Amino acid sequence: MSEQKKDLPQREAIEEKYRWRLEDIYSTDEAWEKEYLSVSEQVEKLKSLQGQLAQNSATLLQALQWQDELGQKMEKLFTYARMRRDENNSNTVYQALTDRITALSSDVSSQTAFLLPEILAIPDGTLQQFLQKEQGLALYRFALDDLRRQKPHVLSEKEEALLAQTSEVTQAASKIFTMLNNADITFPTVKDSQGQEIQITHGRYGQLMESRDRELRRQTFQALYHTYQGLENTIAATLGTAVKRDVVMARIRNHSSALERALFSDNISVEVYDNLIKAVRQHLPTFYRYVELRKKELKVEELHMYDLYTPIVEGVDWQIPYEEAISMVQESLKPLGEEYCTILQKAFQNRWIDVYENRGKTSGAYAWGPYGVHPYVLMNYQEKLSDVFTLSHEMGHALHSHYSYQKQPYVYAHYSIFVAEVASTVNESLLIHHLLKIEKDKTKRRYLLNHYLEQFRGTVFRQTMFAEFEKLIHHKVEKGEALTPEVLKSSYRQLNHDYYGPAMVVDEEIDVEWARIPHFYNNFYVYKYATGFAAATALTKRIIEDGEKAVGPYLEFLAGGSSDYPLELLKKAGVDMSTPGPVEESLALFEQLLEELATL
């Protein structure tokens, strides 16, 4: 545990080659400031067209083009400020920059709120004439058609302007939780079997829970969740506020539920969400067999929640330095072709990635970056096999963005969240297939199978449980019920009993796990991990079996951005997520892998 020192290093102590190069966005903070000050002029230019969009096609085109230019500039400003803050959340300079651009975003949204209702007020016949007359509008045809679809849920110009002014306030619950969870919260130290004190951090928690030292796992588990239990009233209030926001916004937008509103932007029916939960619940008996196998292999009388993450295969201390992880990822992704691998190499060489944990750094991992530059990846690398998969996962996101940025104009450059987890999970699937193909050592092979089954557990079963929890708590608020800590804990506890089955001891501490899940502040997001995993399973099978024949449509999917609805983009790549087929296919693979592990 070489990285598990009591105190995390300061940002400056991390070697430069392991820190992302945000200077590719703005060379200095002063350059950011200059662009920030230029926004008001661009907003005024756009506002000068207010009331004129229906007059002629040229004016409509100009408004759409200026809107794109403004959006691209705001995206650069926001990503730079936020990613600088993520380097060290206690840095007040970048806290201030993030606050300023967040406030400006709200103001810009308010001042440009006239665009949507004014475009929707253009009669259909007039809009069709504009499209025929103005060649430049052809680019915006799909976007304009999608706007017409949204018409029943768009308010008047005045109401939209008022609503836009509330955007910063409606994000308050998420912001408060982020600062509490990343900047203010402090976890206790625990002692390992040698008596060495280890400071628990977000980044280290996963590593500690994989430890073979069961007492260390138990201490870590209890210490972390007792910290959250001490904050359960505060975090219940922030989560409850976020859920109320979702419910209120759904009502304001004339949707029948918060869930329907969340799925509407992707043009996805509620049945897709419900079918996922139904399919996973039907396969829970197979998952119970995995839980029972874990209990047997760990040789414990009782299987506790803190026993879920340690590998069930003994004798494998697989520490993987970052440079080795890069080689593993590159080799595994060769089936995606030379072009893909060249871009991947460029990302590794040109400091797109922020690798190691430092004091104040945002926990976890993500891929993000502004159009017109390139994507970035935030990591908290700890030299575990799971970190190699995280690296592959986030590079999947990054290259998905890269392809979309390169092939799509700004209006279609940002892919839907529904397909966001597909490319990342294809990368992970290719990595596990590669490792299983080359690994001859029986113990390591069992270790890899265990890891792959854990991917299913964490991405399909666990995220679906999260999705069901989200649906449950939103439904409670829609019925007028309060989300007290007791309500949240009892609901969460019952779901853990349902999903993990009779072989699992559902420890009291896990009742408050909801308090540490940041995704719950981005409503109905997590189900997309499970659907994305299912789609990726089907696509990976095609890529491995059909080679170039499957790779071509897959890369076209990556380059599709949001130029079509997500289900349609996936159909073009060869997967139909409107049916339960891909979910069933992935769960059948889980059962197959479980059988192989049990046999070994």
Instruction: List active site positions.
Output: 394
Q: DSSP assignment, residue 190?
A: E
The DSSP call for residue 54 is T
Q: How far is Cα 20 from Cα 250, in angstroms, rounded to an integer? A: 38
Single out the residue of 399, 359, 357 nearest to residue 378, CA to CA: 357
Residues 6+ apart with CB under 8 A from 253: 153, 155, 261
For the chain, how big is the Rg over CA atoms in Å?
Answer: 24
Q: Three-state SS string across 563-593, please?
A: CCCHHHHHHHHCCCCCCCHHHHHHHHHHHHH
Instruction: Reduce the DSSP state of residue 357 to 3 states and report it.
Output: coil
CA distances (Å), 112 to each of 14, 32, 38, 165, 411, in order?
Answer: 42, 22, 16, 11, 16
Q: Which two tokens stand for residue 303?
A: 């299987």
Q: Hunting for tokens 């908290």 — which residue is that? A: 380
- Is the dihedral angle over the CA atoms 166, 170, 174, 176 positive or is it negative? positive
Q: Taking the CA atoms of 557, 559, 564 and 567 in sequence, report the sign of the dihedral they define.
A: positive
Q: How far apart are CA 94 and CA 79, in angstroms?
A: 11
Q: Are 473 and 523 in contact (CB under 8 A)?
A: no
Query: Residue 112: which residues within 8 A CB-CB, separation 6 or more?
Result: 43, 46, 47, 67, 70, 164
Task: Calculate the alpha carbon distances from 110 to 103, 161, 198 in Å.
Answer: 11, 5, 48
The CA distance from 132 to 126, in Å, is: 10
Dmax (CA) for the chain in angstroms is 77
> CA 137, 138, 140, 146: dihedral to nearest 10 degrees?
120
Rounded Cα distance, 134 and 58, in Å? 7
Q: Which of 333, 316, 338 is nearest to 386 (CA)?
A: 316
- What residue spans of 479-526 are helical by DSSP H? 485-500
Q: Within 10 Å of residue 549's Cβ, how many Cβ atoms? A: 11
How buried is residue 227: exposed, middle or buried, by Cβ count under 10 Å (0-12/13-18/19+)?
middle
> Which residues make Cβ contacts (< 8 Å) with residue 470, sequence separation at least 6?
520, 523, 524, 526, 527
Angle at 362 between CA 34 and CA 464, to 5 degrees: 120
Spatial distance between the Cα atoms of 57 and 65, rounded to a whole number of angstroms: 12
Helices 338-349 & 322-332 angle (0-180, nearest 10): 160
